[in-house]
Chain A
Amino acid sequence: MTAIPASARIVLDTVIPARVPWSAIIRKGQTLRIVDSHGQQAVDTLFYAASDFGERYSGQDTLRAQGSAYVTTGTRIMSTEGRTMLRMVADSCGLHDTSAGACSCESNTVRFGHQTKYLHACRENFVLEAAKHGLSKRDIVPNLNFFMNVPLDPDGNFTVVDGVSKPGDYVEMIAEMDVLCLISNCPQVNNPCNGFFPTPIQVVIYEAGED
């Protein structure tokens, strides 16, 4: 893992335990680093413009701007208003998804059977964390899934398969506007997005140094 420059000012450095939600404001110019500390952990992520939560992450605009079904270094993370929210500047993994959205108790019943309704899920995390900022379920749009491996073939077949991220793999994004970041450190144990065993991740927010 590339070290954070010694001259950088660390704004926040925290561990998000397995299965739990988290949120923070990332200021314009700051870098967000998400580290898959143990490997094979899907990190469900949403962004909202800090000045106007009505402007939020758009997976479809992000894919269109990227010209491809996957997200990687160079991808502009786009808002519903067609603006760049963040730019992805580093990616040691190479496979991230933004088409499959988040797991929910309700979608789990459809996908895996009614007996899976009462399992903790990402939408539960998102709604709880969003509520701290005055947002509700209607504000929860389909999200980015860092380190989640969702191959799509030319026939349109679509599945979630084992993540390829190794311990310490990370992504970095520079914020181009002040954004609220919501994360659900995915608790899903019904598919291989996290190897069926959720693990902690690390989040670092830093500002580049003067040199």
Chain B
Amino acid sequence: MILTEQEKAEVEANRRRYEQHKALGQQQAPKALPPPTPRDGAPIAADAIIHRETVPGGWYYVTKLGRGEAVRIINTSGTSCVSIQAWNALDPSERLNHADTIKVQWAASLRKGRVILSDMGRALLSIIEDTSGAHDTMVGGSNAATNAARYGAGNFRNTRDNFVLAAGKLGLDRRDVHPSIAFFAPVAVDSQGRFEWHGERRHQGDFVDLRAELDLLIAVSNCPHPLDPSPSYAPGDIDLIRYQASQLAADDLCRTVSLEAKRAFENNAFYLAGAAGRA
């Protein structure tokens, strides 16, 4: 296609703007991201704990998480993988969007300081503590077929069915089960784009703390990741601690770590101001 001089000028202007965004997005955020939380770091004050529960291997858990509350997910066995779904409690058509989470932050890898975005350009969850950094945004959870292929005949619980069950208990259905994010799933890609499993990056006692940035519905599934090469189906228990997170400071890490995060939180603020105005 032959472009006019004016069209060429528009393309060049768009390209210059993109290069500026890319430079800021890729060069600024990694400098600001902190190291992983030490496994004996970040104790939760006893009076901040709202609820504590152990979820057996293979099972799922559903909870509401009010804005400002957090959940700590602890890999007590060291062999667990924990997948999540999240919906806006006031309007579940807004939900976790793994693609926007990856694309907008210029990174497929999640760690302390990153946020998990909705399809509406808002921050749903902030990763306020994370000992691991070995999480999967690309491949998602297991289903009946992947379990059968890995473990053979048998009745093995899987993440897809867990999420359909969780959605059902929230008054939602399988149309509302979207791609998930899997914690403690050390998936990486090699230089050819092939997936690799790095089991050595998963440790007993690893935890990740997710702070709700809107009132949310959360579903958690505790099933082995489909790329986990272990031939035996033996998911361990996980512990969940729901607690009241600290008051937000003006310089809160997850809100200020990048220009993208800052704008997502500005969108949250516009939305919350509107919600308050209607009340």
Contact = CB atoms under 8 A, between A and B. Distances in A.
Contacts of A154: 188-191
A133 interface: no
Contact of A100 (B10, B102, B266): B102
Given A59-B179, A190-B17, A142 B10 contact: no
B122 to A, nearest CB: 8
B174 A142 contact: no
A141 B180 CA distance: 11
A142 to B, nearest CB: 4
A48 B95 CA distance: 20
Contacts of B151: none
Interface stretch (A7-15, A168-176, A177-185, A193-201): A193-201
B264 A195 contact: no
B175 A139 contact: yes
Interface in A140-179: 140-142, 152-160, 167
B1 to A, nearest CB: 4
B21 A197 contact: no
A156 B194 CA distance: 13
A152 B189 contact: yes
A115 to B, nearest CB: 10
A75 to B, nearest CB: 12
Interface string A86-113: 0000000000000111101111111111
Contacts of A54: 173-175
Contacts of A199: 1
A69 B195 contact: yes
A141 B179 contact: yes
Interface stretch (A20-28, A60-68, A203-211): A60-68
A104 B194 contact: no
A158 B137 CA distance: 12
Contacts of B32: none
Given A38-B1, A190-B17, A191-B18, A158 B195 contact: no
Interface in B168-197: 173-180, 188-195
Interface stretch (B53-61, B142-150, B212-220): B142-150
Contacts of B122: 106
B99 A99 contact: yes
Given A64-B146, A109-B121, A138 B176 contact: yes
Contacts of A38: 1
Nearest to B122: A106
Q: Nearest 7 CB-CB pairs, A to B?
A: A101-B99, A156-B109, A106-B121, A60-B140, A142-B99, A196-B14, A82-B145
11 contacts: A54-B173, A82-B146, A99-B102, A101-B97, A107-B103, A112-B21, A142-B99, A154-B189, A158-B108, A189-B14, A196-B14
Interface of A: 38, 53-54, 58-61, 63-64, 67-70, 80-82, 99-102, 104-114, 123, 136-142, 152-160, 167, 189-192, 195-197, 199
